Structure 1
């Protein structure tokens, strides 16, 4: 009895993800014999797939510790009638799959030349962002990748993505980049198109792209300087007003101080501007009243007479009389 217990313990083993890494998409427990009394350990975020001769026998998704002969074999499709012998075991492969979503940063290695009428050779553009993917089809994954590899890393997926990303960026920037000098405004549409194309590419491997984002587009420094300058002018709108405000801010902040040519120029400009504003206000007030000024009331002669030349009551011309010949108003 003691000898049988000894041999049973010798044959017992544990089936688990032995080389787990956060950036590992799947790992294959090699083609080894599973003995009676063996246990399967599934950790959170993992699925265990039993494979026999390239065919999926069973998929186990709940994390925990299971007895293979009593809790696993009864659920295997073609091996559920398997009986362990004293020296015989079950030879299968167990594929452990990481079920989480992987977020990957990407960036163009070289500038992408986007055709544009403004630049005959094309606009050299770099871009960067992130994409998110996960495994969604175990059958395809085993058929296309796991059947030939013992493990698969996020870096392997990134290499595959970046191999086609330049072409997709060129395609969708040309299609959705309505303003070649402001691609960020159309970044969402460009990213949506790229995600759909990448998803079709990754479906062949049993994976899906759940998100794709373009964080920024980068232009050559000369183009970027031109874009910044143009944007500044558009924001300013009125260049003269911008100069006035800038000069006033400079004086208020102490950056433009008395005694120098800059200060004298600033004072002169402010004085001229104030004078212009005052003249505009005066002219505006006169225009707004709409009233005619009363006729000139110059003296009748240079001899000191105070009699007006025109009657202030009716406006009739006066020839030096003391009373208006028209209305009789007293003039002197």
Structure 2
């Protein structure tokens, strides 16, 4: 095999690279003992550059085109070799072809959540991922710093390094925007541009240009996503009282459908009341001015507890109870209690609740 390579090296006088891959950044031309004939043709295709290396030192770099390898076309190599009056054929040198096309769809992502302060949600863990594109800008620096003596250098050998650099920098860029986390999806283009501008000087030290960075997704914690859903529900209903009634009726319905989960009913029933109270306080602060005192509770407002599957829930005001009656979740037979009552009694026997059942239909009789 060595003899065949030697014979082919003496016959072939074309130095070229036909790239049949989609991830090769640099390729070392293979020739027996790296011997190249005087007057050989160097073919550099579009999207390529060729660099001559003499004993580890970068010599001449050729752009796309067909070049005749003679002394006049290789001034740096001629100087390194000491060719003052021409040279004898063949000569020894390594030839590296470098792909200068754009390599796209390379993936990046944050190595871990970025901690951000948000005025609505406090400290939030945010993640992000996307794609980026690169191209070789300076073949000499690229070969020296990254390729070395590798005979074929691919994107797989550098992706982990580049992906880590982008993933770390995005943690700096996101807080600098100074916007709520829920608004970041609208700023992904700006984030990508900032990343490219900030990282390009660092990439260029390796002979690489960061052509593009796309931020494709901003990930928020599950609890923040749920809070956003709640906010959307409030906006859709448009009325805090209606929202409270909606939450109460939903919780009673869930408890009736899931007797085994009654232990957590109180939490579910209280969710709507708590949300309504928080929003009401916030609105009161907005309209009443900073530092204003909260008003006292409305005097005489009745608040009843409801027994659901043997568990105490509530207390609920008359409005919430009325909604539960309308939805059929609170009946005359439901047990209720409020402060001052000696024991639990049926809702239909409480005078204060009589008006709630005045217009409601009686229980459906059992099927015959």
Instruction: Please give the TM-score of this superposition, normalised by the length of structure 2.
Output: 0.53
1:231–1:149: structure 2 CA closer, same or farther, 3 Å change rule? Answer: farther
Within-5 A mapping of 1:34-53: 34-36=36-38, 38-53=40-55
Preserved CA contact (<8 Å) 2:169 2:195:
yes
Question: How much has 1:9 moved relative to structure 2?
Answer: 8.1
Matched with 1:23 is 23
Distance 1:10 1:185, change over 3 A: closer
Residue by residue over 1:65-114, the C-alpha shift from the partner in whole angstroms, topping out at 9 and shown as x without a partner, is x5435xxx4311144557564xx511111121111111134242654131
Looking at CA atoms only, which structure, 1 or 2, has the larger radius of gyration? 1
Deviations 1:280-323, CA, capped at 9 Å, x for gaps: xxxxxxxxxxxxxxxxxxxxxxxxxxxxxxxxxxxxxxxxxxxx
Change (3 A) 1:161 1:12: closer
In structure 1, what is the equivalent of residue 247 of structure 2?
none
SS at match of 2:75: coil
Aligned match for 1:77, one of 75, 78, 81? 75
Work out the CA distance in 2 between the residues paired with 1:237 and 1:20: 60
Quote the Cα distance in structure 2 between the aligned partners of 1:46 and 1:93.
16
In the other structure, the counterpart of 2:98 is: 97
Checking the alignment, whether the CA contact within 8 Å between 2:116 and 2:125 is kept in structure 1 is no
Q: 1:199 offset after TM fit, Å?
A: 1.0
Shift of 1:11: 4.3
Moved more, 170-179 or 109-118: 109-118
SS at match of 2:158: helix
Tell me the CA shift for residue 192 of structure 1. Answer: 2.6
How many angstroms does 1:20 deviate by? 4.5
Q: 1:60 aligns with which of 52, 59, 62?
A: 62
Residue matched to 1:157: 158
Change (3 A) 1:8 1:23: closer
Q: CA deviation at 1:123?
A: 2.3
**Equivalent runs, 1:184-263 vs 2, <5 Å:** 184-231=185-232, 233-234=234-235, 236=236, 238=238
Cα deviation for residue 59 of structure 1 reads: 2.5
CA distance in 1: counterparts of 2:111 and 2:193, whole angstroms: 22
Structure 2 gap segments, 5+ residues each:
1-6, 244-325, 327-368
Give the whole-Å Cα distance in 2 for the aligned partners of 1:75 and 1:37.
Answer: 10
Counterpart secondary structure, 2:64: coil
Moved more, 73-82 or 125-134: 73-82
| Partner in structure 2 of residue 124 of structure 1 | 125
Distance of aligned partners of 1:77 and 1:36 in 2 relative to their CA distance in 1, 3 Å threshold: closer
**Which whole-Å deviations, capped at 9, do the CAs of 1:19-61 have from their partners, x for residues lacking one?**
6522111112256111246432323321122232344433222
Give the equivalent residue in structure 1 for 2:274. none
d(CA) in 2 for partners of 1:173, 1:197: 13
C-alpha deviation, 1:232, in angstroms: 5.4
Q: Take 1:223 and 1:9, find their aligned partners in 2: how far apart are those partners? A: 67
Q: Is the 8 A contact 2:203 2:210 kept in 1?
A: yes
Sort the Cα spacing of 1:146 and 1:105 in 2 relative to 1 into closer, same or farther, 3 A: closer
Aligned partners of 1:217, 1:177: CA distance in 2, in Å? 15
Find the aligned partners of 2:73 and 2:13 in 1 and give their Cα distance. Answer: 20
| TM-score, normalization by structure 1 | 0.58
Distance 1:228 1:14, change over 3 A: farther
Any gaps of 5 or more consecutive residues in structure 1?
1-6, 244-264, 266-332
Contact 1:177/1:190 (<8 A) preserved:
no
8 A Cα contact 2:110 2:168, kept in partner: no
Cα distance in 1 between the residues matched to 2:96 and 2:228: 53
